[in-house]
Amino acid sequence: MPPKRFTILVIPEGSHKVRRFSVERVVLKRFFAVAAFLSIGFFLLVFDYVQINLDQKELHRLRVENRSQGEDLHKLMVKLDDLRKELVVLAQNDAKVRVMAKLTKPKNDSLAGIGGPAEADVSKQFDDIQRRIDTIRRQIDLRRESQEEIQGFLNDERSLLSAKPTGWPVKGWLTSTFGMRRDPFTGKRKMHEGLDIAARTGTDVRVTADGIVSSVRTEPGYGKMVVVEHGYGYRTYYSHNSKNYVKVGQRVKRGDRIAAVGNTGRSTGSHVHYEIRLNGLPVNPKKYL
């Protein structure tokens, strides 16, 4: 039989009186039960609190991550759209050259079909991106085929002699040659894929072989530029012009005036940046002067 009552002694230090409390067993039992209950409750609360705090941090991290991924996807989509727009311009140029070359069927399927607003759903966004990439790839293949066909036409129409770039595009003096050099803007070593020929602004730039103008455009680096397709794999580029005198699709004969020397784009003075590409690869124009 356990005792009915307990006596609790409180003994202070020094000469203070000892206190004694008499407690019933039932009361003491209840007290411990309640104490145990409260402390378990307290621990559960603390545990919950810590857990919620951690979850919240995780949630915040995921939200931030999600947002930045969304932004990345959006940037990618914008880049793809820029690519598509470039291809549209190329396709338009191509069509003009094809008309000049009397090549009938236009090598062009709809590029307008893709683009438009980006999907909101992430899984759909990936599909969307994949679809855009596929369309762009198809377009590039079509352009390549078309370019080969145009080259073929040019080969049939004229002799290698008239298609091969010959002589200087402008009367001037060489200021930079073909090959590795220090970039005048960034100071980094970089391939210079053409010749720089300095001349006074407004001086005539003349095409160095017969051909068809395949591009007339303005680029941030090259400024106003003209590209001429000659056949036999030859293509010439004339950049930094102050004026372009020709239109895409126009036939030109060696020596025809196509532009005026200038200082447009990334240029440190009035000059022509002259490039020759043979089968798409830059070659040293000095060998063709």
Q: Which helix (H) or strand (E) holds 133?
A: helix 122-157
Q: Which of 148, 82, 145 is nearest to 109 (CA)?
A: 145
Give whichever of 132 and 273 is closer to Zn ion, judged by the CB atom.
273
Please tell me whether residue 240 binds Zn ion under the rule CB under 5 A: no
Beta strands in the chain (DSSP E): 5-10, 19-24, 173-176, 179-182, 189-192, 195-198, 204-206, 211-219, 223-231, 234-241, 243-244, 251-252, 257-260, 271-278, 281-283
Looking at beta carbons, which residue is closest to Zn ion? 273
State the nearest-atom distance from the C-beta of 276 to Zn ion, in Å. Answer: 13
State the nearest-atom distance from the C-beta of 280 to Zn ion, in Å. Answer: 19
In angstroms, the CA 133 to CA 83 distance is 10
State the nearest-atom distance from the C-beta of 201 to Zn ion, in Å. Answer: 16
Residue written as token pair 């003349």: 206
x-marked contacts with Zn ion along 159-198 as a string, rule CB under 5 A = -------------------------------------x--
In angstroms, the CA 239 to CA 227 distance is 9
Where do the H-state alpha helices sit in 158-259?
Answer: 160-163
x-marked contacts with Zn ion along 196-215 as a string, rule CB under 5 A = x-------------------
In angstroms, the CA 38 to CA 16 distance is 33
State the nearest-atom distance from the C-beta of 174 to Zn ion, in Å. Answer: 11
Tokens of 191: 């391939």
Give whichever of 230 and 273 is closer to Zn ion, judged by the CB atom.
273
State the nearest-atom distance from the C-beta of 186 to Zn ion, in Å. Answer: 14
x-marked contacts with Zn ion along 256-275 as a string, rule CB under 5 A = -----------------x--
Give whichever of 164 and 273 is closer to Zn ion, judged by the CB atom.
273
Interacting residues toward Zn ion by CB under 5 A: 196, 273
